């Protein structure tokens, strides 16, 4: 095989590999239908996977291995979400799924928080979104730096 032929095969390989890229996936569950395994901490045996490009859902997520796929956040395609709220039945509910990143030029969580339907059917609604493969396994708790410093100082002064 000549150098030119080998080069052609290399180019075809890289074009094929990049075209076959990993599909962006999110964990998918609804605690009302799927049980408490959808809540934090999430039980991997109780949830499924959702492929965001075509919204298909697998039977289980037991063998899920995160890939390098990301939601296309520059063009606004999909993000993974975790939504928590108290339902009209006074029960905490958790939903994990793929969502469009933007609705009416607003990020999905902001849009849902303002929605009259959300307020009508739920209380204490929280929503978080992320854009890496299988990133919605747990809700990230963000504590401001000043709060951490204050807790550390209180701990130092009481000992």
The pLDDT tens digits of the residues spanning 2-52 come to 555 444 433 333 333 333 345 789 999 999 999 999 999 999 888 999 999
The overall pTM is greater than 0.75 = no
The answer to the question of residue 108 being in a domain is yes
How many domains is the chain partitioned into structurally?
1
The reply to whether 16 falls in a domain is: no
Domain membership of residue 9 (yes or no) is no
Measure CA 113 to chain center. Answer: 17
Q: Cα(81)–Cα(48) distance, rounded to whole angstroms?
A: 14
Output the average pLDDT for the chain: 76
With a pLDDT cut of 90, the percent of the chain lying above it is: 42
- Whether pLDDT at 152 is above 80: no
CB 122, CB 67: distance < 8 Å: no
Evaluate whether residue 56 is within a structural domain. yes
Tell whether 158 is covered by a domain: no
The boundaries of the domain holding residue 117 are 23-137
Cβ atoms of 72 and 119 closer than 8 Å: no
Task: Please compute the mean of the pLDDT values over residues 111-131 and round it to a whole number.
Answer: 89
Q: Is residue 144 part of a domain?
A: no
| CA–CA dist 81, 137 (Å, integer) | 9
Note the pLDDT of residue 116.
83
pLDDT of residue 139: 52
In a domain, 110, yes or no: yes
């Amino acid at each position: 095989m000549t150098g030119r032929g080998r080069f052609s095969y290399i180019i075809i390989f890289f074009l094929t590999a990049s075209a076959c890229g990993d599909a962006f996936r999110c964990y998918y569950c609804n605690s009302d239908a799927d049980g408490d395994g959808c809540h934090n901490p999430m039980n991997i045996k109780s949830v499924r996977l959702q492929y965001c490009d075509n919204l298909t859902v697998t039977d289980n997520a037991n063998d899920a291995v995160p890939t390098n796929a990301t939601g296309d956040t520059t063009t606004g395609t999909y993000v993974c979400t975790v939504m928590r709220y108290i339902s009209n039945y006074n029960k905490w509910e958790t939903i994990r799924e793929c969502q469009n990143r933007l609705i009416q030029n607003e990020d999905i969580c902001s849009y849902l928080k303002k929605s009259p339907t959300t307020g009508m059917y739920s209380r204490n609604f929280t929503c978080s979104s992320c854009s890496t493969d299988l990133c919605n396994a747990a809700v990230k708790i963000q504590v401001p730096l000043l709060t951490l410093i204050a807790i550390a100082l209180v701990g130092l002064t009481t000992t």
